[in-house]
């Protein structure tokens, strides 16, 4: 549909790339971007895929050493991509770490990671359904989720709950998650988001369910 109107399709794949097999050719997207820290790499490094024809047409967004073929007082010839988009000293350490993270995930296998996440999602969804005042958002089927569940607790602010849980060594995000209009459409305030990955276990989620219940009773 996007291409039918002559527009470019940009996919933010940060939440998908650590969990799902992605084929940019099948997606036929013009750009696909993702951050490294979502897939066990350090912060400050990521990937931007773009079609070659688009990269050839684009001008650099910043200037500096290493991104030109030649320069004079009245003319500049930029280097071919990707060099023309990488001015100055590159983030070498970040690139090495991102490559190591990708190798690590591929060695484990995304299919195995995905199966583990679905099992954790099923466990957490079943547990949250047993707690009064909790309203879960998103798909009901665990297989339709990546490794996270957002939920709202009636009558208790998400920041109070996250603070309580943090003191129990449970790290959850609290707020509007860059989607305040979506929250408003569901007539709710800030929500909590539990995220989990290959390093988490049912024991972690059991601790969350126990301490969430305690937190709700404490503030309720």
pLDDT single digits (tens) 29-41: 999 999 999 999 9
Mean pLDDT of the chain: 95
How far apart are the two ends of the chain, measured CA to CA in Å? Answer: 48
For 4, half-sphere exposure in the C-beta direction (CA atoms, 13 angstrom radius) is: 1
Q: 201-210: per-residue pLDDT in tens?
A: 999 999 999 9
The structure tokens 């997207």 sit at: 29
Give, as one character, the DSSP assignment of residue 197.
Answer: -
Residue 188 annotated to the active site:
no
Residue 38 pLDDT: 93
**Residues 159-171 pLDDT 10s:** 999 999 999 999 9
Over 90: is that where the pLDDT of 120 sits? yes
Tokens of 203: 């024991």
Residue 181 has φ and ψ, to the nearest 5°, of -60, -35
Contacts 24+ apart (CB under 8 A), 200-208: 200/120, 200/147, 201/120, 202/119, 202/120, 202/123, 204/170, 205/120, 205/123, 205/124, 205/127, 206/127, 207/168, 207/170, 208/124, 208/165, 208/170, 208/172
Q: Is the pLDDT of residue 220 over 80?
A: no
Compute the distance between CA of residue 131 and CA of residue 91 in angstroms, rounded to an integer: 46
Q: Given the residues 73, 92, 140, 178, select the one marked as catalytic.
A: 178
Q: pLDDT tens digit string along 43-84?
A: 999 999 999 999 999 999 899 889 999 999 999 999 999 999
Residue 90: pLDDT band with limits 50, 70, 90: confident
Question: What percentage of the chain carries pLDDT values higher than 70?
Answer: 100
Q: What are phi and psi of 2, to 5 degrees?
A: -60, -45
Please tell me the CATH code under which domain 3-108 is placed: 3.40.640.10
Q: What is this structure's pTM? A: 0.86
Give the domain ranges of the chain.
3-108, 110-219
Can you tell me the mean pLDDT for 143-170?
95
Q: 39: how many CB neighbours lie within 10 A of its CB?
A: 19
Reading the block at residue 12, the tokens are: 């933010």
Q: Which of 126, 203, 213, 215 is nearest to 162 (CA)?
A: 215
Beta bridge partners of residue 47, listed in sequence order: 34
Which class would CATH give 110-219?
Answer: alpha beta
């Amino acid at each position: 549909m996007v291409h039918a109107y002559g527009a470019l399709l940009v996919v933010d794949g940060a939440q998908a790339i650590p969990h799902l097999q992605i084929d940019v050719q099948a997606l036929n997207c013009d750009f696909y971007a993702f951050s490294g820290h979502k897939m066990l790499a350090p912060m400050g490094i990521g990937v931007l895929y773009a079609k070659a024809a688009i990269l050839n047409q684009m001008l650099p967004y910043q200037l500096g050493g290493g991104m030109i073929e030649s320069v004079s007082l009245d003319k500049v010839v930029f280097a071919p991509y990707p060099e023309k988009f990488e001015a100055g000293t590159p983030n070498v350490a970040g690139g090495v770490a991102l490559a190591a993270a990708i190798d690590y995930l591929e060695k484990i296998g995304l299919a195995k990671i995905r199966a583990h996440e679905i099992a954790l999602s099923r466990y957490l969804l079943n547990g949250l359904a047993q707690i009064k005042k909790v309203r879960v958002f998103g798909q009901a089927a665990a297989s339709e989720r990546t490794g996270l569940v957002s939920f709202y607790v009636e009558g208790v602010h998400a920041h109070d709950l996250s603070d309580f849980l943090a003191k129990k060594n449970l790290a959850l995000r609290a707020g509007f998650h860059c989607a305040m209009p979506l929250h408003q459409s569901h007539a709710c305030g800030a929500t909590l988001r539990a995220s989990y990955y290959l390093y988490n276990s049912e024991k972690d989620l059991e601790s969350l369910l126990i301490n969430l219940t305690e937190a709700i009773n404490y503030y309720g």
